[in-house]
């Protein structure tokens, strides 16, 4: 049990340091993405490897247009958003949905949760560095994940925006340029 606790703490510290370094890159405008055509159906399963299998349902159809992104930056951005969605999911029997669809000259990737949702005034504030909304429990992060995710997506000329999930919850929408 002690070894497991040490490993979990080391993983949490590693994520924190990674997010701090990523945030400093975003804030100093030194993120230089290597944009290339990428198939979401190839990237998303690898991104979700660390997430418990029953916590997320993936609906990324084959045959979507490729998107022009840096696969590593997209991986980090999606992982940060999915981790948040899983963390705040009130009912583990209702998994988070990760779904993609084509929309004209773009592809949208949606991360849909059934959590408590976010007020309209807090929707933009949640992308600020070191912002933790509400009474987030101690030990669940320092509020960098969404700021890093948005910074990476914008560096790839995409957008990351929150929407209310019909019926309750929050949907994070990645809009990426199709090629």
Residue 130 pLDDT: 62
How many helices (H) and strands (E) in the chain? 5, 7
* Averaged pLDDT for residues 73-94: 89
- Distance from C-alpha of 70 to C-alpha of 59, rounded to nearest angstrom: 21
Whether residue 160 has pLDDT greater than 70: yes
pLDDT at 116: 86
Q: Average of pLDDT values for 79-104?
A: 91
CA distance 76 to 15: 11
| 131 — pLDDT class (breaks 50, 70, 90) | low
Mean pLDDT confidence for 33-43? 92
Question: What pLDDT was estimated at residue 132?
Answer: 56
On whether the CB atoms of residues 179 and 68 are closer than 8 A, the answer is yes
Question: How many Cα atoms are found within 13 Å in the side-chain-facing hemisphere of 133?
Answer: 20
First to last CA, the chain: 49
Taking the model in full, what pTM does it have?
Answer: 0.81
């Amino acid at each position: 049990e002690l070894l497991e606790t040490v490993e979990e703490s080391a993983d949490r510290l590693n994520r924190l340091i990674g997010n701090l370094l990523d945030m400093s890159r975003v804030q100093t405008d030194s993120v230089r993405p290597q944009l290339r055509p990428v198939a979401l159906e190839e990237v998303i399963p690898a991104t979700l490897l660390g997430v418990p299998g029953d916590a997320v349902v993936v609906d990324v159809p084959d045959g979507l247009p490729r998107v022009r992104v840096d696969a590593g930056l997209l991986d980090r951005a999606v992982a940060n958003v999915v981790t948040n969605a899983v963390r705040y999911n009130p009912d583990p029997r209702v998994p988070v949905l990760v779904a993609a669809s084509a929309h004209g000259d773009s592809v949208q990737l949606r991360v849909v949760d059934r959590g408590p949702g976010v007020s309209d005034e807090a929707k933009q504030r949640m992308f600020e560095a070191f912002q933790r909304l509400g009474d987030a429990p101690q030990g669940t992060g320092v509020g960098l994940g969404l700021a890093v995710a948005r910074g990476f997506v914008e560096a790839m000329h995409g957008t990351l925006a929150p929407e209310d999930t019909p019926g309750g919850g929050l949907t994070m929408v990645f809009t990426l340029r199709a090629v």
